[in-house]
Amino acid sequence: QEFTVIYFEGNDSKVGVFRYEKKLKLLRAASMAIPRSELASDPTDLSINLDDDTGGINLSSGSSFSKSPEIDTAYIQAVNSFVGHFDPKKMVFLPAVTEPALHFHLKEPVQDKKKGKPKSSQGIKKPEYEPDIIYLADNSPMQMLSGGDTTYLNVLNSMAKLRGRKFLKTPALRSADCSLSYYVGSRRAAPEDQYTLIFYIGKEYSRLIYMKNGRLAHFGAVVDFGKESVHNFDLYFSKIMLEMENGGIPQLDNIYVCGEDTSWQLLSSLVGTFPEANVGKLEFPDIDTSVLNEAERENISQFTMLFAVAAEYVDELNKKRRAPNLLPAFVLDEQKTFQFAWHGFLQIPL
């Protein structure tokens, strides 16, 4: 199966086309800036239409979301050309976003009516699956909420129009940060009571993801500077220590660095600041990246979010994972309605 992951982060995006047979293989990947109109964005509505050919989703005008600033046509054409020729009945598109396109919110603890105080999160039975809920290392529920940014919808809809179709098959919207924490937790063994920091550096923003025993423990607030805007590593380190305090993280045993900057200078500075931690680049040995040339391999970490989302999707195909899905509920409901109607049609006697 071939599928495309598009990761949106501010005015930057990453596009990757993958194939999964016995092993996950990267076919091509690119980093693309997103030029936007300077006109202020206006509220708009989005609705769903379904293509009879494949049962996929088309989002156009009709329901309550905020429209993102208009995206430059040249960007849409560049992404469309990069993805190349594909069978629209088979190719799956997985958009992935980060803050501020979504927000993380710790849900209020359940109150014990008898004792008049919050119940221990350890004793709460978790539902089998909630598409917008993740559970932290202490079993506290965290909800993911849409920030109203519809860039991913605008891009996919525009690409569909370029190909003369009503839609591109889009079964899910991923939280890139959740996918990354899952990737590290499922691929990197962590001894009990060890704390890990995933330090993702973007072009404009950076992310601090703290884990305990291989499970997500705390999402740090978005660091509002990245490779293109910081020239003093101390700014990073003060944010790391501040978020350790905010998240109740007592120590760091492992630090995985990934994203736009995995330079020796940054790694050595981290070693000097956190001498007790094992510091290193995040590697992706389970993904075939042989298509990349030497120069691209040196900067392979810039595609971290693509790899994390792709690996999580493969685990989902293999029934090893049921990933959060932030695609609007009305999209999923319309898709279920279409499937039910189609199967009902097949049962009509001829």
DSSP assignment string, 152-207: HHHHHHHHHHHTT-S-------EEHHHHHHHHHHHHS---TT-EEEEEEE-SS-EE
Task: Work out the angle at residue 287's Cα, subtended by the Cα atoms of residues 75 and 3, and round it to the nearest 5 degrees.
Answer: 45
| Relative orientation angle of helices 264-273 and 233-247, to the nearest 10 degrees | 50
pLDDT for residue 41 is more than 80: no
| Relative orientation angle of helices 304-317 and 176-187, to the nearest 10 degrees | 70
Residue of 250, 309, 258 whose CA lies nearest to 276: 250
Q: Which residue has the higher pLDDT, 255 or 165?
A: 255
Q: Is the alpha carbon torsion for 245, 247, 251, 257 positive or negative?
A: negative
Q: Is the alpha carbon torsion for 120, 123, 129, 134 positive or negative?
A: positive
Give the mean pLDDT of 30-43.
Answer: 66
SS3 content of the chain, % helix, strand, coil (to 5): 30, 30, 40
Q: Tokens 């501020």 — which residue?
A: 100
pLDDT classification of 190: cutoffs 50, 70, 90:
confident
Residue of 204, 220, 143 whose CA lies nearest to 175: 143
Task: Tell if the pTM clears 0.75, that is, is over it.
Answer: yes
CA distance 323 to 181: 12
What is the pLDDT at residue 342? Answer: 38
Residue of 143, 233, 170 whose CA lies nearest to 5: 170
336 phi/psi in degrees, rounded to 5: -65, -40
Q: Tokens 């009509």 — which residue?
A: 348
For 108, what's the count of Cα atoms within 13 Å in the CB-facing half-sphere? Answer: 4
The CA-to-CA distance between both ends of the chain, in Å, stands at 34
pLDDT tens sequence across 121-131: 455 555 567 88
Cα distances (Å, whole numbers) of residue 295 to 158, 298, 299, 301, 339: 32, 5, 7, 12, 46
pLDDT for residue 64 is more than 50: no
Strands 287-288 and 102-106: unpaired
Cα distances (Å, whole numbers) of residue 222 to 43, 104, 202, 343: 25, 11, 11, 45
Q: What radius of gyration, in Å, describes the C-alpha atoms of the chain?
A: 21
Strands 92-97 and 57-66: unpaired
Residue of 242, 190, 239, 237 whose CA lies nearest to 216: 190
pLDDT tens sequence across 302-348: 999 999 999 999 999 999 999 999 987 765 665 454 454 434 434 44
Q: Is the alpha carbon torsion for 35, 102, 138, 315 positive or negative?
A: negative
pLDDT classification of 7: cutoffs 50, 70, 90:
very high
